[in-house]
């Protein structure tokens, strides 16, 4: 029988950024304790978790000490080393499991998995050398997108191959690391599904989110996405298949491109995030059960909560860098739900907070 947590049991969270922070807040509301572990001695999560620990992800003695103090373990970011999760999983249940992590950490494994389910993703080829890149670009054409297999986020670790791009330069820009070349998807919008799978295999998903990026960073999410009802249903079904295929437990996100053709709308999966997601922050005020509470429920072995929307239309806007300096103005706006992550220093591109507006 999968472990079910009781109130006052402890959820260990690897990573103490804003996602860990909002997860810890949700756990507290359900009477659960949290222990955040990360290498840094400070972070947004450390202000609100019940307890904190600093240690390297490679420090097995420290990790064992961490595991001994937890009833179940989760993580708030996908770049936690697979070896760390494997080590911890032998001591306490880690949710989501190792398969979700290994697939979502590696763009090639991810695309092989998605295609294997019969779900569309951008055409792709594995790239391990400059000559692989030359052959792939010759076959797939330009524009195309070169992405490192690992450690890419917010547009980092990727290069757009345009008509004039010198391939040797593109290859050196990504540091000559194992990569994939993707065909360019002529999308009209980017959408995401925030979904959850319970330990018993139950599934729940929120309404489809429509996401606008600026400088490769999520700027605004609007819900519901402006798509045909069949498209929204199809997106949720894609997420259900992915969650079941990975036998995951917890909240995860599927980012998709929306392509509009004469024949109608088509969805292409971009990537899977094995965790709560920035495009799901609106659920704190905009859904019956937030994505953070949902994740806590799932990893605790509790029943999933209702994903029903609480308003007609909801927007979530990130406060990036110095935008958070407007907090007094935002705090005085009626109906604006302001969230600040307590980061000490604003830097360009740094997510400092977000604001959600629910139209009823």
Q: Does 190 bind ligand AMP (CB under 6 A)?
A: yes
CB of 159 to ligand AMP, least distance (A): 11
Out of 8, 213, 226, 312, the residue judged to bind ligand AMP by CB under 6 A: 213
Enumerate residues 121-160 that contact ligand AMP by CB under 6 A. 122, 145, 152, 155, 158
| Closer of 111 and 343 to ligand AMP (Cβ) | 111
Q: Using CA of residue 11, residue 14, residue 19, residue 21, what is the dihedral sign?
A: positive
What character string, x for contact with ligand AMP (CB under 6 A) and - otherwise, covers 215-254?
A: -x--------------------------------------
CB of 102 to ligand AMP, least distance (A): 18
Between the two ends of the chain, the Cα-to-Cα distance in Å is 42
For residue 232, CA distances in Å to 27, 29, 192, 267 come to 30, 31, 10, 10
Enumerate residues 274-303 that contact ligand AMP by CB under 6 A. none
* Listed ranges 163-171, 179-187, 231-239, 307-315: which one lies at the site for ligand AMP (CB under 6 A): 179-187
CB of 8 to ligand AMP, least distance (A): 39
Q: Is the separation of the CB atoms in 123 and 183 below 8 Å?
A: yes
| Closer of 158 and 317 to ligand AMP (Cβ) | 158
The per-residue b/e assignment along 254-265, b for 16 or more CB within 10 angstroms, e otherwise, is bbbbbbeeeeeb
Q: Does 76 bind ligand AMP (CB under 6 A)?
A: no
- Can you tell me the distance from the alpha carbon of 42 to that of 32, in angstroms, rounded to the nearest whole number? 22
The tokens for 15 are 């990573």
Q: Cis peptide leading into 96, omega within 30 of 0?
A: yes
Unique residue bearing structure tokens 């004469």: 262
- Can you tell me the distance from the alpha carbon of 207 to that of 193, in angstroms, rounded to the nearest whole number? 7
Q: Does 270 bind ligand AMP (CB under 6 A)?
A: yes
| Closer of 72 and 100 to ligand AMP (Cβ) | 100
Phi, psi of 9 (to 5 degrees): -70, 165
| Closer of 156 and 359 to ligand AMP (Cβ) | 156
CB of 212 to ligand AMP, least distance (A): 10
For 114, the 3-state DSSP assignment is helix
DSSP state, residue 85: H
* Listed ranges 170-178, 184-192, 273-281, 303-311: which one lies at the site for ligand AMP (CB under 6 A): 184-192
Out of 207, 271, 285, 293, the residue judged to bind ligand AMP by CB under 6 A: 271
Give percent helix, percent strand, percent coil of the chain, each to the nearest 5. 30, 30, 40
Q: Does 81 bind ligand AMP (CB under 6 A)?
A: no
Residues that bind ligand AMP (CB under 6 A): 122, 145, 152, 155, 158, 182, 184-185, 190, 213, 216, 270-271
């Amino acid at each position: 029988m999968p472990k079910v947590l009781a109130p006052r049991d402890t959820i260990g969270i690897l990573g103490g950024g804003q996602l860990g922070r909002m997860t810890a807040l949700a756990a507290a509301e359900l009477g659960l304790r949290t222990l955040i572990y990360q290498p840094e001695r400070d972070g947004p999560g450390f202000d609100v978790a019940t307890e904190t620990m600093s240690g390297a992800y490679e420090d097995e003695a420290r990790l064992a000490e961490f595991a001994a103090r937890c009833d179940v373990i989760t993580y708030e970011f996908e770049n936690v080393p697979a070896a760390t999760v494997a080590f911890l999983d032998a001591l306490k249940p880690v949710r989501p499991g190792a398969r979700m992590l290994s697939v979502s950490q590696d763009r090639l494994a991810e695309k092989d998995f998605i295609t294997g389910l019969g779900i569309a993703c951008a055409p792709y080829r594995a790239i391990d050398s400059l000559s692989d890149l030359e052959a792939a670009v010759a076959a797939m054409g330009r524009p195309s997108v070169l992405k490192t297999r690992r450690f890419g986020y917010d547009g980092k670790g990727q290069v757009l191959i345009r008509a004039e791009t010198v391939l040797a330069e593109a290859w050196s820009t990504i540091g000559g690391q194992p990569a994939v070349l993707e065909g360019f998807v002529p999308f009209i919008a980017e959408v995401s599904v925030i979904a959850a799978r319970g330990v018993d295999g139950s599934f729940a998903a929120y309404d489809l989110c429509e996401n606008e990026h600026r400088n490769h960073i999520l700027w605004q999410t609007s819900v519901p996405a402006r798509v045909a009802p069949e498209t929204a249903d199809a997106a949720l079904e894609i997420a259900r298949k992915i969650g079941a295929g990975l036998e995951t437990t917890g909240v995860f996100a599927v980012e998709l491109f929306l392509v509009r053709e004469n024949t109608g709308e088509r969805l292409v999966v971009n990537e899977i995030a094995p965790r709560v997601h920035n495009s799901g922050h609106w659920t704190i005020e905009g859904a019956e059960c937030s994505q953070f509470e949902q994740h806590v429920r799932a990893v605790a072995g509790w029943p999933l909560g209702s994903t029903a929307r609480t308003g007609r239309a909801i927007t979530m806007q990130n406060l990036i860098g110095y935008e958070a300096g407007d907090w007094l103005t935002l705090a005085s706006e009626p109906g604006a739900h302001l969230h600040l992550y307590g980061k000490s220093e604003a830097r360009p591109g740094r997510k400092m907070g977000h604001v959600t507006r629910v139209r009823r």
